[in-house]
């Protein structure tokens, strides 16, 4: 059974789910965009020997939202993860991330190479980028979305089942997988059920990193690294990812059947790769 914990950082309160013995190999896990810590519910029990702490990122699950008027920049999640490790008292630890979480933890590994023992990522390596020519349009749209937020009514679902169905339709997840995420991501409201996630998370990013900037981070990753891609997932379709792979000296890439959430839809093959990798002694 997972243990629920709260981590107090200097700025925010972060919620987390914890699996494994207190003396297990410390691993900090970070979920994907609009998901939550329950993303690892199926995988974590299959990682014996690991003390896995799965965060609810800021604005997700049971963690605090950012203050009014703030955006959710990709780089702002990275200090949150570093602060979570400090709250846990971890000097050296492994990292596990999915999708957005994979991008976040790969940057953490790049800026703290002396502290990261191993890096495992699923369907995520660095952040998404965009055409630089779209920068002015994206910034304007982000400001417009922020200004329009007070007038917007968030979606309300008459039942939990309706919310699960909406998540299935939006993401292609199976009912069972979507139900795991929705259970933690939903809250009762006057007219039914609404999402706990901060609606600002859906705004277009006001600023994207360029691909050369991202490659500079990839080149700074020193820990042994494992990337798992779904054969029908997002990364195998993106040619630019090959250059990111090439910049990481100790990277192993494995492709498993499935889509963007292989660790949640079919966790056993992921566990057979990730478990021994994360718990293997590092130099």
Separation of alpha carbons 108 and 78, rounded Å: 6
User: Dihedral through CA 218, CA 255, CA 94, CA 129, nearest 10?
Assistant: 30
Structure tokens at 20: 């494994």
In 3-state terms, what secondary structure has residue 201? helix
The number of beta carbons lying within 10 Å of the beta carbon of residue 228 is 26
Reported residue count of the chain is 283
User: Is 63 a residue of the active site?
Assistant: no
CA dist 83 → 12, 110, 153, 163 (Å): 9, 16, 33, 32
CA distance 201 to 195: 12
| 23 Cβ contact partners less than 8 Å away, ≥ 6 residues apart | 51
Q: Which of 99, 159, 171, 205 is catalytic?
A: 99
Q: Mind telling me the catalytic residues?
A: 99
């Amino acid at each position: 059974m997972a243990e629920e914990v709260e981590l107090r950082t200097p700025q925010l309160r972060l919620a987390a789910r914890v699996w494994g013995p207190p003396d297990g190999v410390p691993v900090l896990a970070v979920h994907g965009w609009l998901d939550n810590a329950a993303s690892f519910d199926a995988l974590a029990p299959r990682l014996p020997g690991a003390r896995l702490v799965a965060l609810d990122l800021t604005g997700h699950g049971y963690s605090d939202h950012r203050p009014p008027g703030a955006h959710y920049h990709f780089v702002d999640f990275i200090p949150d993860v570093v602060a979570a490790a400090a709250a846990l008292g971890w000097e050296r630890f492994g990292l596990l991330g999915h999708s957005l979480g994979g991008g976040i933890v790969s940057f953490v590994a790049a800026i703290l190479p002396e502290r990261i023992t191993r890096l495992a990522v699923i369907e995520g390596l660095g952040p998404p980028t965009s055409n630089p020519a779209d920068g002015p349009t994206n910034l304007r749209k982000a400001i417009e979305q922020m200004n329009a937020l007070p007038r917007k009514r968030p979606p309300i679902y008459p039942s939990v089942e309706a919310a699960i169905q909406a998540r299935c339709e939006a993401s292609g997840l199976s009912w069972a997988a979507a139900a795991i995420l929705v259970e933690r991501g939903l809250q009762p409201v006057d007219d039914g059920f609404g999402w706990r996630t901060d609606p600002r998370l859906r705004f277009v990013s006001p600023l994207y990193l360029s691909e050369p900037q991202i490659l500079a981070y990839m080149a700074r990753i020193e820990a042994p690294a494992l990337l798992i891609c779904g054969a029908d997932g997002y990364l195998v379709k993106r040619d630019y990812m090959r250059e990111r792979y090439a910049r990481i000296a100790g990277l192993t890439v494995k492709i498993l059947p499935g889509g963007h959430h292989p660790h949640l839809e079919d966790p056993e093959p992921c566990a057979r790769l990730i478990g021994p990798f994360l718990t293997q002694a590092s130099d």
